Amino acid sequence: MSCHDHDRRTGTRLTVVLSTLAAVLLCLLPWSGTAVAHGSVVDPASRNYGCWLRWGSDFQNPAMAQQDPMCWQAWQDNPNAMWNWNGLYRNESAGNFQAVVPDGQLCSGGRTEGGRYNSLDAVGPWKTTDVADDFTVKLYDQASHGADYFLVYVTRQGFDPATQPLTWSDLRLVARTGAYAPSQNYAIDVSTSGLSGRHVVYTIWQASHMDQTYFLCSDVNFT
């Protein structure tokens, strides 16, 4: 057997091994279970969607600890919170949201899904999206659940999400919608006034296919 034939066979075996390893790793990824897809606010990005968007392809990069410390602590706590950015919901809240989502736990949906999203309640300097007084909340619904309604809140002026846990009393309702037919993209126009600096936009999405409610925190900066 020539050296050329040996190299070719060795290369072929290596390709098979690497392909098999890649397939195994792909099966182990939490995100491989996309059949149970739901949705989230994508603009201004919800906390875990933003962390997935910025770092999903580089989530083990230690530079994140300095560049994006709130995402770093979230990835360290539970990577599934980002891979499953579309699954932050509770079933059967019956519209009594304050009873099932206590103060300090609003961004995790009351520590839903066995505490998967607890890191989203962490107080600190989450990355923000710049918005004006009038802006649009955009939500991506992978499963086309539709909506009975959306509620959009913005934190009161003077609340500092970088140093204070989020409570219901910190929120001011700025938009309540009617029903939306099943689709993959929804837009809710929001109008505010007198706000400046860092705030949290809190979106409640009541899906229409069952009593399933999404609780979504987006960090913004009013410019």
Residue-level pLDDT at 170: 98
CA angle 9, 15, 18 (to 5 degrees): 140
Same domain, 82 and 187: yes
Same domain, 70 and 22: no
Same domain, 125 and 15: no
Residue 216 pLDDT exceeds 80? yes
Same domain, 142 and 185: yes
Residue 15 pLDDT exceeds 70? no
Please count the structural domains in the chain: 2
Residue-level pLDDT at 113: 96
Extract the tokens encoding 186: 């929804």
Sorting pLDDT into bands at 50, 70 and 90, what band is 9?
very low
3-state class (DSSP) for residue 51:
helix
Query: What percentage of the chain has pLDDT greater than the value 70?
Result: 83
What average pLDDT does the chain have?
Answer: 88
Question: Distances in Å between the alpha carbon of 16 and those of 6, 175, 221?
Answer: 15, 55, 50
Same domain, 120 and 143: yes
Same domain, 210 and 188: yes
Q: What are phi and psi of 211, to 5 degrees?
A: -80, 80
Residue-level pLDDT at 7: 45
Extract the tokens encoding 18: 């690497």
Residue-level pLDDT at 17: 38
Sorting pLDDT into bands at 50, 70 and 90, what band is 117?
very high
Sign of CA dihedral 43, 106, 191, 194: negative
Extract the tokens encoding 201: 């936009």
Residue 186 pLDDT exceeds 80? yes
Same domain, 17 and 96: no
3-state class (DSSP) for residue 42:
strand
Same domain, 102 and 48: yes
Same domain, 62 and 128: yes
Q: What are phi and psi of 151, to 5 degrees?
A: -115, 130
Residue 2 pLDDT exceeds 80? no
What's the predicted TM-score (pTM) here?
Answer: 0.84
Residue-level pLDDT at 11: 46
Q: For the domain that residue 74 is a member of, what is the CATH number?
A: 2.70.50.50
Extract the tokens encoding 9: 């066979």
Residue-level pLDDT at 1: 53
Same domain, 96 and 174: yes
Same domain, 20 and 119: no
Residue 53's Cβ-count burial label (10 Å; 0-12, 13-18, 19+) is: middle
Give the tens place of pLDDT for each residue, 25-61. 333 333 333 335 799 999 999 999 999 999 999 999 9
Same domain, 68 and 157: yes
Average pLDDT of the segment spanning 15-31? 36
Sorting pLDDT into bands at 50, 70 and 90, what band is 6?
very low
Residue-level pLDDT at 14: 41
Residue range of the domain that includes 4: 1-30
Residue-level pLDDT at 55: 98
